[in-house]
Amino acid sequence: MDNIITVEGVSKGFPLPDGNTFWALSDINMEIPQGKLTILRGRSGSGKTTLMNIIGALDDPTKGRVIFDGQEITGWNEETKGQFRRYHIGFVFQSVALIPMMTAYENVEFALRLANYKGDRVARATECLHMVGLQSRMNHMPEEMSGGEQQRVAIARALCHRPKVIFADEPTAELDTNTGLMVMKIFQELIEREGITIVMTTHDTGLMELGDRVYEIEAGELVDRE
């Protein structure tokens, strides 16, 4: 199994007012396999989102490095990281983060525009919405949709430009159990159909068995579960 991302000795510290440093992450080493669902589990405050932000090129570690598809992404400037995210990464956020004044379709199409998608944008956006089962609600505004539906639009938006990896931060946290499971099902389908790599965080132990690989974080450190 190929690893698309390798994390080597990553630590993240935040300076405290008293002059000491709070280590949100310390010496994390991990691999993320390609075309699989990786789950980062931890309680709130454990550091899982911080870790995901670093892997997803949103944030820099204090120490250590991240190799993404053979390239070291740590230390890049904002501009380069932005470009990298734009083309190779899709994000799904915990709180639903659709652009409120765009319809479901436009939200998806916007991601295609942003990634400078060369193919037929209309067809691709429609296809992605179909994949998440929302073809009938394409022209609805976010505020006219339920939380689950919005989250599915967010997933469609994250995957449509065929990123290498989708990062999903607590995608099910604000959904009820059934809807949460439906989202997980979509993830699994995507992995099968599109061969995409998905990294998600969760605090829900019930979802852990759905992951191809699971890392558990506690107080900024990986806990060996095997």
Partner 1 sequence: MLQLILQKIKNKKGLVFSLLLGNILLISIVCCNVIYTRASLQRMINTTFSDYLEQQNTYPMLVSVQSGLSQIPSGVGNQKAYFRSREVANLVEDEYEIPLKMKIRHDQITVVHLDMDNYRGKSQSQITLKLGAITDLPRHVVLREGTYPSSEFTEDGYAEVMMCQRMMITQCLVVGDTFTSTKLTDENGELLKLRIVGVFDADETIDDGYWVQTPSAYFQEFIMEESLFSRLFVSDEPQIAIRTFYQLLFDYGRVKPEDVERIIDVSQKYNEEFKSYSDTEYREKFSERLAVYLSDARKVRITLWVLQVPVFILLGVFIFMVAKQMLEMEQSEISIMKSRGASKKQIIQVYMLQSTMTAVAGWVIGIPLAFFLCQVIGSANAFLEFVSRKALPVELTLDVLLAGILAALFSIAVMVVPVLKYSNVTIVAQKQRKTRGNGAPWWQRYYVDVLLLAVSLYGLYSFSGQKDALAAAVADGASLDPLLFLSSSLFIMGAGLVSLRIVPMISWAVYRIGRKHWSPALYTSFLRIIRTRYRQSFIMIFLIVTVALGIFNAKAARTINRNEELRLHYLTGADVVLKEKWQDNSASLEDGGELTYIEPDFDKYLTMDHVVSGTKVYRDLKSTVTTNNLKNVQLMGIHTREFGETAFMDTSLLPEHWFNYLNLMSEDSGNLIVSSNFRENFGYKVGDDLMFKSGPGGSTWGKIVAFVDYWPGYNPYSYTRREDGLYSQTEKYLIVAHLSRLQSMDGILPYEVWLRTDGTTSGVYEGIEQKKITLTSFTDVADSVIRLKNNAVFQGTNGILTVGFIVVLMLCVAGFLIYWILSIQSRALQFGIFRAMGMSLKEILAGLINEQVFITGFSMLIGGVVGVIASHLYVPLIQISYASYDQPLPLRIASAGSDSLKLFLLIGIAIALCLVILGWIISRIHISQALKLGED
By CB under 8 A, name the binding residues for partner 1: 44-50, 53, 58-59, 78-79, 82-87, 89, 91, 93-95, 97, 99-102, 106, 110-111, 113-115, 141, 143-144, 169
Cβ closer to partner 1: 7 or 154? 154
Q: Which amino acid is at 156?
A: A
> Per DSSP, which regions of the chain are E strands?
3-15, 21-33, 37-42, 63-68, 71-72, 89-92, 165-169, 197-202, 213-218, 221-223
Q: Which of 186, 182, 193, 191 is nearest to 212 (CA)?
A: 191
Question: How near is the Cβ of 45 to partner 1 at its closest, in Å?
Answer: 5
- What is the pairing mode between strands 63-68 and 3-15? antiparallel
Nearer to partner 1, 30 or 170 (CB): 170
- φ, ψ dihedrals at 217, nearest 5°: -115, 135
- 191 residue type, one letter: I
Contacts of 109 (CB under 8 A, 6+ apart): 121, 122, 125
State the nearest-atom distance from the C-beta of 191 to partner 1, in Å.
Answer: 21
Shortest distance in whole angstroms from residue 226 CB to partner 1: 26
Q: Nearer to partner 1 by C-beta: 102 or 181?
A: 102
Least distance CB 76 / partner 1 (angstroms): 12
Residue closer to partner 1 (CB basis): 106 or 212: 106
Strand order in the sheet with 3-15: 21-33, 3-15, 63-68, 71-72
17: tokens are 């007012």
Instruction: Find the farthest-apart pair of alpha carbons in the chain and give their distance in angstroms, rounded.
Output: 56
Which lies closer to partner 1 via its Cβ, residue 31 or residue 69? 69
The DSSP bridge partners found for residue 38 are: 199, 213
Q: Considering the complex, what minimum distance in angstroms separates the CB of residue 140 from partner 1?
A: 12
Q: Which residues pair with 91 in a beta bridge?
A: 167
Shortest distance in whole angstroms from residue 128 CB to partner 1? 15
If you search the block for the tokens 């915990």, which residue do you land on? 94
Q: In this complex, which beta carbon is closest to partner 1, that of residue 58 or of residue 67? A: 58
